[in-house]
Amino acid sequence: MKVRTRSSAIIGTISLVASLALGTAAADESDAPSRDAQAAKVALTKVATAKNPIAGAAGPGGTVWIAERAGTVRVLDDNGLGAPVLDISRETTTDGERGLLGIAFDKKFARFYISFTNRQGTSTVDEFRVKGGKLQPQTRRTVLTQTQPYSNHNGGDLTFGPDGYLYIAFGDGGASGDPHGNGQKLDTLLGKLLRIDPSRPSGGKPYAIPPGNPFVKDPRARDEIWSYGLRNPWRFSFDSGTGDLLIGDVGQNAWEEIDWAPAASKGGENYGWSRMEGNHPFRGGTEPANHVRPVHEYDRTGLGCSVTGGYVYRGDAIPDLKGSYVFSDYCDGTVRTVKIENGKVTDKGDLGVNGGEVVSFAQDGDGELYVFDLGGSIHRIDPA
Ligand SMILES: [Ca+2]
């Protein structure tokens, strides 16, 4: 996510207007020329309005839990969006790119995790026990914290992998151009994807390090690190069909990228930042020998300015969309797809719908996808 400035607010307005125009065109033409011939026919169905919805997670009983940036969590079910079930608004601020930034359940819906910046801007991951679908406030405990040197590039997304471990993404800490070189440093959690096991507090820590983590034998590297070289991995997910990892890493000024790792990965990938921005040397940087290049990148000439990672679609409602990675861009809002086979993009598409200021996607228990507009609208992607 990039913070909305005055000029980007104008861009946002233009993009909303464009979205209305696009919707009309899509209704008139059964197969718009800009779309891939194989593209699925979809429509956005508005299912809720929230206050700056920023993250979502499939919850117990077929619900979708929704985080609002200022610090509340609400549950979306068949009756609509309920009153807050959690309110930490006194513990966070929305300065810069801060706020409540991510939520996740474990696979059994027994524990719930929130990722937020506290009043000092420190990234904080807290855990709650869940009973009968309800948070148990007295069980709250802090799992992990990371101080942040600047108010942007906090990352903050988190989710459980198919291996049952908790993955947490942190950005490089800001401000611009990675002034501290955090992306390539292995002694900091900034600019990283982490993997921890919060179900087993151990050695005085509120979590255990999974034994297979790639840097546990390197005394100079933090044991929590799964992969590195990330700038602001704002949203990431695992393909619920294959277990592959997909990361939308927000670029500096030129290249937005999607990174990919197979389910069989042992971790340790170097995604290049800040020596590389996408496939391109950044400010005279040299490409690391172990650089894992993005599976997809796009520039700033019309597709947006801040990639928002989504999910590989594995639902049943839209058969033509199955297996495609659905993503968007905060500055553009068009919902796009790439199909990835054996680590290569084999198809690109444009679903012909615009989700507004797309800050996040959520995937429900049936694999259906929701698009979050930071301005308030939550849409489900339905068959047209
Ligand atoms: Ca990269």
| 322 alpha carbon – ligand 1 mean position (Å) | 26
Q: How far is the CA of 86 from the centre of ligand 1 (A)?
A: 35
- Tell me what the mean pLDDT of segment 135-151 comes to: 97
Q: How far is the CA of 230 from the centre of ligand 1 (A)?
A: 6
Measured in Å, residue 251 CA sits from the centre of ligand 1 at 8
232 alpha carbon – ligand 1 mean position (Å) = 10
Nearest alpha carbon to residue 328 among 293, 292, 298, 301: 298
Confidence check: pLDDT of 38 > 90? no
pLDDT for the residue numbered 2? 56
- Mean pLDDT check: name the lowest of 37-41, 258-262, 314-318, 368-372: 37-41
**Any domain includes 108:** yes
> What is the mean predicted confidence (pLDDT) over 269-294?
98
SS (H, E, C) the chain: CCCCCHHHHHHHHHHHHHHHHHHHHHHHCCCCCCCCCCCCCEEEEEEEECCCEEEEEECHHHCEEEEECCCEEEEEECCEECCCCEECHHHCCCCCCCCEEEEEECCCCCEEEEEEECCCCCEEEEEEEEECCEEEEEEEEEEEEECCCCCCCCCCCEEECCCCCEEEEECCCCCCCCCCCCCCCCCCCCCEEEEEECCCCECCECCECCCCCCCCCCCCCCCCEEEECCCCCCEEEECCCCCCEEEEECCCCCCEEEEEECCCCCCCCECCCCCEECCEECCCCCCCCCECCCCEEECCCCCCCCEEEEEECCCCCCHHHCCEEEEEECCCCEEEEEEEECCEEEEEEEEEEECCCEEEEEECCCCCEEEEECCCEEEEEEEC
In-domain check, residue 1: no
Residue 357 domain flag: yes
d(CA 276, CA 287): 6
Q: In this structure, what CATH number is given to the domain that contains residue 18?
A: 2.120.10.30
Q: How far is the CA of 189 from the centre of ligand 1 (A)?
A: 16
Using pLDDT thresholds of 50, 70 and 90, give the confidence band for residue 1.
low
Residue 258 Cα to ligand 1 midpoint, Å, equals 8
Ligand 1 center to residue 235 CA distance, Å? 14
- By residue count, the chain amounts to 384
**Within a domain: residue 66?**
yes
Å from CA of 292 to ligand 1 middle: 8
Quote the ligand 1 centre to 162 CA distance (angstroms): 23
Tell how far the Cα of 12 is from the centroid of ligand 1, in angstroms: 26
Does 68 fall in a domain?
yes
Question: Residue 58's beta-bridge partner residues?
Answer: 64
Reported as a single tens digit per residue, the pLDDT across 195-220 is 999 999 988 999 999 999 999 999 99
Q: CA–CA distance from 328 to each of 180, 311, 355, 381 (Å)? A: 29, 10, 8, 13
Looking at the DSSP bridge assignments, the partners of residue 361 are 371
**pTM as predicted:** 0.91
According to the model, what pLDDT value does residue 27 have? 33
Q: Measured in angstroms, how far is the CA atom of residue 51 from the centroid of ligand 1?
A: 32
Residue 124: predicted pLDDT: 98
Count of domains for the chain: 1
pLDDT in tens, 152-190: 999 999 999 999 999 999 999 999 999 999 999 999 999
Ligand 1 centroid distance, CA of 38 (Å): 29
Range of the domain at 256: 6-383
Which amino acid, 33?
P
Residue 274 located in a structural domain: yes
Centre of ligand 1 from the C-alpha of residue 112, in Å: 30
**From the CA of 60, how far away is ligand 1's center (Å)?**
35
What is the 377 CA–ligand 1 centroid distance (Å)? 30
Instruction: Examine residue 288 and state whether it is found in any structural domain, yes or no.
Output: yes
**Would you say residue 367 lies in a domain?**
yes
Q: Output the CA 206–ligand 1 centroid distance in Å.
A: 30
Q: What percent of the chain is modeled with pLDDT above 70?
A: 90
